[in-house]
Amino acid sequence: MSHDQTAVREVLEKARAEGRTALTAPEGKKICDAYGIATPGEGVAASAEEAARLAEEIGFPVVLKVVSPDILHKTEAGGVLVGVATAAAARAGYDQVMASALAYNPEAVIDGIQVQRMLGGGQEVIIGAVTDPTFGKVVAFGLGGVLVEVLRDVTFRITPLSGDDALGMLDDIRAAEVLRGVRGAEAVAREPLADMIQRVSALVDDFPEITEIDLNPVFADARGATAADVRVLLAAGPVVEPARLGRDEILSSMNRIFKPRSVAVIGASAEDGKIGNSVMRNLINGGYRGNIYPINPKATEILGLPAYPSITAVPGDVDVAVFAIPAKFVPAALEEAGAKGAAGAIMIPSGFAETGNVAGQQELVEIARRHGIRMLGPNIYGYYYTPENLCATFCTPYDVRGSVALTSQSGGIGMAILGFSRTTKMGVSAIVGVGNKADVDEDDLLTFFEQDDNTRCVAMHLEDLKDGRGFVEVARRVVKTKPVIVLKAGRTAMGARAASSHTGALAGDDKVYDDILRQAGVVRAPGLNEMLEYARALPLLPTPKGENVVIITAAGGSGVLLSDACVDNGLTLMDIPPDLDQAFRAYIPPFGAAGNPIDITGGEPPTTYENTIRLGMSDPRIHALILGYWHTIVTPPMVFAELAARVVGECRAAGHDKPVVVSLAGDTEVEAACEYLFDHGIVAYPYTTEKPVAVLGAKYQWARASGSMGG
Amino acid sequence: MSHDQTAVREVLEKARAEGRTALTAPEGKKICDAYGIATPGEGVAASAEEAARLAEEIGFPVVLKVVSPDILHKTEAGGVLVGVATAAAARAGYDQVMASALAYNPEAVIDGIQVQRMLGGGQEVIIGAVTDPTFGKVVAFGLGGVLVEVLRDVTFRITPLSGDDALGMLDDIRAAEVLRGVRGAEAVAREPLADMIQRVSALVDDFPEITEIDLNPVFADARGATAADVRVLLAAGPVVEPARLGRDEILSSMNRIFKPRSVAVIGASAEDGKIGNSVMRNLINGGYRGNIYPINPKATEILGLPAYPSITAVPGDVDVAVFAIPAKFVPAALEEAGAKGAAGAIMIPSGFAETGNVAGQQELVEIARRHGIRMLGPNIYGYYYTPENLCATFCTPYDVRGSVALTSQSGGIGMAILGFSRTTKMGVSAIVGVGNKADVDEDDLLTFFEQDDNTRCVAMHLEDLKDGRGFVEVARRVVKTKPVIVLKAGRTAMGARAASSHTGALAGDDKVYDDILRQAGVVRAPGLNEMLEYARALPLLPTPKGENVVIITAAGGSGVLLSDACVDNGLTLMDIPPDLDQAFRAYIPPFGAAGNPIDITGGEPPTTYENTIRLGMSDPRIHALILGYWHTIVTPPMVFAELAARVVGECRAAGHDKPVVVSLAGDTEVEAACEYLFDHGIVAYPYTTEKPVAVLGAKYQWARASGSMGG
């Protein structure tokens, strides 16, 4: 791709020099030419005669458009005339357009009338880019007309785009079939469209001052794509990229914060009910083995540990300072913690931005930055890191070690994480409150969890991203090895945003988050409970090696619902080859159904479950199993649970590993059976056919995004 | 609406006489004319000269179409010429179309060339009707072109349609906005379109032998609607309506079945592990107070009750016979039960249609019909009816009385219902297995539950409906007073269906079920767990009196997720009037947020919850409350639960009743709090913001459909 940056710079500088934030159509065309974006033949006429001559050169029909920096909405001004078919019409048209434009705005400086080849036929599409407040440059693609405007059938990607990203956009709209040719229309050539998307991406990346660009409509057909109209908007002021710390810099702080040799509790208290007391108790009762330094000017000893009047009085080094004092005392204490060389400030206190005290929060940020101390919060419950028995929080200790790290922007959601974890015995490496995110945010935490051997899966509740581009960058790296689950709250609260382009108007909702999180390989949980269930289950499920999912069920009714759920979750029911079908048939009653779901029928003894599960586990053509259990006297719930755990365990030991999820239909004993199965590394749920399949679907979503599925 | 049935009958009889199942275009037009469906001016020409003359009469441009009973796909045959603009072109076109048609099929009998006014402009829509195997006559409406073909943006209704039904269809497609006018187009007139839909509905209802009709395209604009092309397909053989029993006839059996004075157990057994033993135990241990007659030729006494060699030997009357014998013995025993005058045969045995033994099942149906005995099953777990302490099943007894009746087509799902009910202490009136539905189906059960004072809500799992039209009829009646929840399994397994019309092709999927169940006022549960949760919660929630939903939350994070869930579930967050806003503000900290959600902020004492909940309950402008609780030391879970139950109880006692649902975020104590709240008639869930709102959404869905919400 050859890009003439000099030509673009010239156009932009001229506009800037003239104080304009919108380019004229000929300027837009120059930019397109410079970046190899095809536009129709055209020229600018300074007289009716010249218009007629240009039209004859370009070929009829043509469109006439007024060119004026003072007229942005040309159609409204009567400054557009379409379907001009003869030289005489072009001549007359010139005068007409000129008159209308001047009638609309008598003060307008008119540079001439643009004569442009009129396009038509093929498929109308729209390609654009905007500057998203979260993600920066974002490219949009959709079908033109009603589809994009009424059904908002549009897809977004963060720049820069790979060729696959761009091609993927063509398939990612709901009406993608239209591009492949419907109702006798020929298919649209994919490469030129994808190429144009990439060129737009390159253009806005090279020139950050281009805040919005609309190619609308673009006419695409079997031969190529041509942008019939281009609209370019520029930033009024300078464009600033958010500052980002380097990975090493982040890690050197984060490793000290998550694996501290010492923790000081500023505001430690011996008095029950105080936050400074809860934090002390949780550190001690949680079994933290580093040094704990209670800081309290009014005490000499707290909960059996010597207390210090200030953090600077602590004899040894301090890695982490947990703040449990009122907001007004925080700045001075933070200065001291910084001076002491602490790596992290765990800022539990509230009373900052969330109550309107934005200046107070900014003050903390500046103190922290000055001292190079990283701050978590303010307005948080603290954090847990189980590998270090670290419960630096005012909640209650949590000790079920495991491999999932969870973070939450909201304290309430943090408490829900804690309660859910405890009741399901979810194995956790970390639970972290990020609160107001004045400093440390999800990007920092992901950077730590990426290289943390104790963490194999990350789940994050968030309402916004401070630096979406930074998040995408690190998430893309992390998902190669570990699933990242995101519950993005506030899906519907983006509200109105001033938008002066089509793309801008389309970008004003949650679809941008949705598309870009997916592009980053993140698994987006639809709700809180799903986030928690995915977090619990994903680390237990091995990565599938391919798309072939098989359902083995004793209840035909469950089989139908499990199949529905497979479709809902984008899973592929394997087309079972005849030899495998025969093999399954050997184990099931003659009126059972092989195929997929494999219906082993109700009332079968344990051996039927055992044989079919073993076959399902052993055959390498099957990549994942969904089991449907039906409670009967012949095979009671715990008998099933024990045999399933044993068979899966034996197969895993023999090297046949694949994800297994189970739906149990039965009386209340199935609940204990589910617990037993979970304890044995098998994901199992009672009274639901949807949840086990949703969890498997989430695993597949990650496996595909990570590129770890092979195939 | 004047409908000329005679004219239609004449056309249909001619086609039938000629052995045709498709009408020609002129025949289609005649039918349209007879039912007041506007079509473009047209005539049939027998010569090129006549074609030119007709075209001049009708007005240019015209379309020429071959008329031949032997050419169904006219375009394919080159038998259509569009855009004919002059008399000369019409003359030449006549010859061209004729030649093409004969080249395509030299044997074709050609009745002439149709000359038709060519329509254009306005909006292309499609109106059609098909004969659905489940629901009978079904009308479809969608936008023409890509929208309906690629995005399948189409909506269905069962006939006959009310005016509101027809108007509702215009709003029920995703791209409805197009009809209201977009991109400068004028809005389409709604009445003429709805009128045309109703006329199509009347036509297919009046003439059941019309199996499919397509008006495609229909051109609709601000003035009216004209069907440019009509396609009519007829049944090859006679059309048979399914037989339906009258309501009284159904009830006289059903009341005896659900409230029997006596139950005979055919195959009763003293031996543990036998089905006939389990049924006996469950009847006895369940506390059934009517007569229980064990039937077993080899016993004189079973579980302390005198046994009889056959049902005919029983001294008194028998209302219900429960079958617990192998399939092969069933027909003879059913004959005897019929002879004895039993009202119901509870057919537990399997080995009938589900194992391929369709003839065996048909035999049972015939025996039952001959004796007027209604049969439940075969292949079921039996049924429960708690008001009578009746557990006529081989599962385990269930005794938590309540007002929800549940049915399941699958035994596995029945077991899941039982387990879920027991673990959540769900109050149940009935649990019924319908299995193969050889006789009794959901229509019969709904008819009973409608007039059953012990049932206030019905939840049904089903994979198909034997008589969808019958179901819709009774469901429409029932939902006026009681919610009907349906879990329709097999959403994605409709498979291919031979379709020879556009409407037919579009009707081949789950959308028909979805639209028509909604039209009937049924709440469709997306999955098993949702069906169970709706069943548990809906009877506890009072009917909301309007759409104003208010969220009161202590956790801002929950508030955002609860708002998302409101949008997902079609709920309206109330726009809080200033005086009410002021009233709430009086109770919350200055940095809390009134508005909606009302964020009372974390760490507040019980009084803040109490005051805000009381205000929310008392103000009549608020119609439903969603509470977000956040676990803190200041207001622990049980303190919250008790105060919430007390305040809501007091308000209810004072006549301020409205639905209240709660999401609890916290440590595991919130689980006990949820149980307490449920016990006090408040729907509450831990660790989820979605479930409480989904349940409220289901209640609203029913309230709107039932017309009981007022407004």
One-character DSSP codes across A589-629 = -TTSB-SSSEE--TT--HHHHHHHHHHHHH-TT--EEEEEE
* Residue B242 resides in a domain: no
Type and span of the H or E element at A383? strand A382-385
Rounded CA-CA distance B529/B414 in Å is 13
Q: Which of A356, A527, A686 sits opposite B690 (nearest CB)?
A: A527
**Cβ A419–B490 below 8 Å, yes or no?**
no
Q: Which residue of A has its CA nearest to B557?
A: A410
For A7-16, A664-673, B88-97, which range has the lowest pLDDT when averaged over its residues? B88-97
A234 vs A503, which has greater pLDDT? Answer: A234
The residues, ordered by sequence, that sit 6+ positions from B229 with a Cβ below 8 Å of its Cβ are B25, B214, B215, B216, B217
Pairing assessment for the beta strands A291-295 and B344-347 based on DSSP bridges: unpaired
Q: Please indicate, yes or no, whether residues A84 and A138 belong to a single structural domain of this protein.
A: no
Structure tokens at A480: 């190669």
CA distances from B96 to A221, B71, B86 (A): 30, 16, 15
Q: Please indicate, yes or no, whether residues A405 and A348 belong to a single structural domain of this protein.
A: no
Q: Which of B412, B565, B669 sits opposite A630 (nearest CB)?
A: B412
Q: CB distance from A408 to chain B under 8 Å?
A: yes
Are B322 and B395 in contact by the 8 Å Cβ rule? The answer is no
Q: Which of residues 479-508 of B touch A (CB under 8 A)?
A: 487, 489-493
The residues, ordered by sequence, that sit 6+ positions from B635 with a Cβ below 8 Å of its Cβ are B554, B604, B605, B606, B609
Q: Please indicate, yes or no, whether residues B61 and B166 belong to a single structural domain of this protein.
A: no
Q: What would the 3-class secondary structure string for A514-550 be?
A: HHHHHHCCCEECCCHHHHHHHHHHHHHCCCCCCCEEE
Q: CB distance from B614 to chain A under 8 Å?
A: no
In this prediction, residue A687 carries a pLDDT of 97
One-letter amino acid of A13 = E
Rounded CA-CA distance A293/A306 in Å is 7
* Residue A24 resides in a domain: no
Q: Which residue of A has its CA nearest to B567?
A: A492
* Residue A338 resides in a domain: yes
Shortest Cα–Cα distance, A688 to chain B (Å) = 5
Asked if pLDDT for residue A494 goes beyond 50, the answer is no
Domain range holding A314? 246-378
Confidence of residue A502 (pLDDT cuts 50, 70, 90): low
Residues of A with CB below 8 A from B415's CB? 555, 630-631, 665-667
In this prediction, residue B462 carries a pLDDT of 93
Asked if pLDDT for residue A471 goes beyond 70, the answer is yes
Count of beta carbons in the 10 Å neighbourhood of residue A698? 24
Confidence of residue A205 (pLDDT cuts 50, 70, 90): very high
Q: Please indicate, yes or no, whether residues A595 and A696 belong to a single structural domain of this protein.
A: yes
Confidence of residue A498 (pLDDT cuts 50, 70, 90): very low
Q: Please indicate, yes or no, whether residues B112 and B128 belong to a single structural domain of this protein.
A: no
Question: Phi, psi (5° rounding) for residue B9?
Answer: -60, -40
In this prediction, residue A633 carries a pLDDT of 85
Q: Which of A493, A560, A689 sits opposite B463 (nearest CB)?
A: A560
**Cβ B564–A395 below 8 Å, yes or no?**
no
Q: Please indicate, yes or no, whether residues A261 and A355 belong to a single structural domain of this protein.
A: yes
Q: Which residue of A has its CA nearest to B691?
A: A529
**Cβ B413–A354 below 8 Å, yes or no?**
no
Q: CB distance from B82 to chain A under 8 Å?
A: no
Coil, strand or helix at B214? strand
Q: Catalogue the long-range contacts made by B247-253 (C-beta closer than 8 Å, 24 or more residues apart).
A: B247/B447, B250/B443, B250/B444, B250/B447, B250/B448, B251/B447, B251/B448, B251/B451, B252/B343, B253/B343, B253/B344, B253/B372, B253/B374, B253/B444
Rounded CA-CA distance A694/A520 in Å is 20
Q: CB distance from B692 to chain A under 8 Å?
A: no
What's the rounded mean pLDDT across residues B13-26?
A: 93
Q: Which of B182, B529, B567 sits opposite A146 (nearest CB)?
A: B182
Rounded CA-CA distance B305/B320 in Å is 17
Q: Nearest CA to A506 among A107, A36, A70, A144?
A: A144
Shortest Cα–Cα distance, A34 to chain B (Å) = 32
Q: CB distance from A206 to chain B under 8 Å?
A: no
Rounded CA-CA distance B339/A307 in Å is 92
* Residue B239 resides in a domain: no
Q: What is the pLDDT of residues A292-330, one digit of tens each?
A: 999 999 999 999 999 999 999 999 999 999 999 999 999
Rounded CA-CA distance A522/A457 in Å is 11
* Residue A391 resides in a domain: no
CATH value at residue B186: 3.30.470.20
Shortest Cα–Cα distance, A2 to chain B (Å) = 37
Coil, strand or helix at B408? strand
Confidence of residue B556 (pLDDT cuts 50, 70, 90): confident
Substitution target from B216, B687, B693 for chain A, most A beta carbons within 10 A: B687
The residues, ordered by sequence, that sit 6+ positions from A420 with a Cβ below 8 Å of its Cβ are A426, A532, A536, B686, B687
Residues of B with CB below 8 A from A556's CB? 354, 410, 412
Type and span of the H or E element at B338? helix B330-340
Coil, strand or helix at B493? coil
Residues of A with CB below 8 A from B527's CB? 561, 564-565, 688-690
Q: CB distance from A82 to chain B under 8 Å?
A: no
To the nearest whole number, what is the mean pLDDT of chain B?
92
The residues, ordered by sequence, that sit 6+ positions from B518 with a Cβ below 8 Å of its Cβ are B524, B705
Q: Please indicate, yes or no, whether residues A131 and A103 belong to a single structural domain of this protein.
A: no
The residues, ordered by sequence, that sit 6+ positions from A240 with a Cβ below 8 Å of its Cβ are none
In this prediction, residue B494 carries a pLDDT of 36
End-to-end CA distance of chain A: 32
Are B68 and B62 in contact by the 8 Å Cβ rule? The answer is no
**Cβ B527–A565 below 8 Å, yes or no?**
yes
> In b/e form, how buried is each residue of A662-688, taking b as 16+ CB within 10 angstroms?
bbbbbbbbbbebbebbbebbbbbbbbb
Residues of A with CB below 8 A from B492's CB? 563-564, 567
The residues, ordered by sequence, that sit 6+ positions from B183 with a Cβ below 8 Å of its Cβ are A145, A146, A149
One-character DSSP codes across A316-371 = S--SEEEE-S-GGGHHHHHHHHHHHT-SEEEE----SGGGT-HHHHHHHHHHHHHH
Q: What is the pLDDT of residues B178-216, one digit of tens each?
A: 899 877 778 999 999 999 999 999 999 999 999 999 999
Structure tokens at B117: 């006014």
Substitution target from A143, A147, A150, A171 for chain B, most B beta carbons within 10 A: A150
What's the rounded mean pLDDT across residues B102-107?
A: 91
* Residue B711 resides in a domain: no
Q: What is the pLDDT of residues B627-683, one digit of tens each?
A: 999 998 889 999 999 999 999 999 999 999 999 999 999 999 999 999 999 999 999
Q: Nearest CA to A153 among B155, B151, B208?
A: B151
Q: Nearest CA to B188 among B229, B161, B160, B217?
A: B217
Q: Which of B416, B422, B668 sits opposite A422 (nearest CB)?
A: B668
Number of domains in chain A: 5
Coil, strand or helix at A426? coil
Q: Nearest CA to A472 among A437, A531, A513?
A: A513
Q: CB distance from A415 to chain B under 8 Å?
A: yes
Pairing assessment for the beta strands B112-117 and B42-45 based on DSSP bridges: antiparallel
Q: Nearest CA to A662 among A616, A593, A704?
A: A616
Rounded CA-CA distance A246/A470 in Å is 11
* Dihedral in degrees, nearest 10, Cα atoms B442, B443, B448, B454: 50
Q: Please indicate, yes or no, whether residues A321 and A349 belong to a single structural domain of this protein.
A: yes
Q: Which residue of B has its CA nearest to A686?
A: B416
In this prediction, residue B260 carries a pLDDT of 98
Q: Which of B178, B493, B591 sits opposite A560 (nearest CB)?
A: B493
* Residue A198 resides in a domain: yes
- B88 exposed, middle or buried (CB, 10 Å; 0-12, 13-18, 19+)? exposed
Are B621 and B548 in contact by the 8 Å Cβ rule? The answer is yes
Q: Please indicate, yes or no, whether residues B279 and B311 belong to a single structural domain of this protein.
A: yes
Of A540, A558, A578, the residue that ends a domain is A540
Q: Which of residues 515-554 of B touch A (CB under 8 A)?
A: 526-529, 532, 553-554
Are B623 and B658 in contact by the 8 Å Cβ rule? The answer is yes
CA distances from A512 to A132, A133, A189, A271, B229 (A): 9, 11, 26, 49, 42
CATH value at residue A81: 3.30.1490.20
In this prediction, residue A674 carries a pLDDT of 98
Q: CB distance from B360 to chain A under 8 Å?
A: no
Q: Please indicate, yes or no, whether residues B152 and B139 belong to a single structural domain of this protein.
A: yes
For A312-316, B264-268, B592-596, which range has the lowest pLDDT when averaged over its residues? B592-596
What's the rounded mean pLDDT across residues B340-358?
A: 95
Rounded CA-CA distance B157/B165 in Å is 8
Residues of B with CB below 8 A from A669's CB? 419
E strand spans, A235-286 = 262-266
> How far, in whole angstroms, is CA B581 from its chain's centroid?
40
Of B183, B206, B234, the residue that ends a domain is B234
**Cβ A591–B355 below 8 Å, yes or no?**
yes
In this prediction, residue B28 carries a pLDDT of 95
Of A82, A100, A118, the residue that ends a domain is A118
ipTM of the complex: 0.90
Are B236 and B21 in contact by the 8 Å Cβ rule? The answer is yes
* Residue B346 resides in a domain: yes
**Cβ B415–A182 below 8 Å, yes or no?**
no
> What is the layout of strands, in order, in the sheet containing B291-295?
B291-295, B262-266, B320-323, B344-347, B374-376
Are A64 and A80 in contact by the 8 Å Cβ rule? The answer is yes
Count of beta carbons in the 10 Å neighbourhood of residue B611? 18
Q: Please indicate, yes or no, whether residues B282 and B429 belong to a single structural domain of this protein.
A: yes
Q: What is the pLDDT of residues B474-498, one digit of tens each?
A: 999 999 999 999 999 987 643 333 3
**Cβ A557–B413 below 8 Å, yes or no?**
yes
CATH value at residue B690: 3.40.50.261
Q: CB distance from A687 to chain B under 8 Å?
A: yes
DSSP state, B327? G
Rounded CA-CA distance B661/B531 in Å is 17
Q: CB distance from B688 to chain A under 8 Å?
A: yes
Shortest Cα–Cα distance, B249 to chain A (Å) = 31
What's the rounded mean pLDDT across residues B247-266?
A: 98
Q: Which residue of B has its CA nearest to A272?
A: B633
Q: Which of B408, B419, B553 sits opposite A670 (nearest CB)?
A: B419
- Residue written as tokens 């190529």? A224
Q: CB distance from A668 to chain B under 8 Å?
A: yes
Q: Nearest CA to B256 among B388, B351, B366?
A: B388
Q: Please indicate, yes or no, whether residues A551 and A507 belong to a single structural domain of this protein.
A: no
**Cβ A490–B560 below 8 Å, yes or no?**
yes
One-letter amino acid of B395 = C
Residues of A with CB below 8 A from B565's CB? 527
Shortest Cα–Cα distance, A667 to chain B (Å) = 4
In this prediction, residue B373 carries a pLDDT of 98
What's the rounded mean pLDDT across residues A417-443?
A: 96
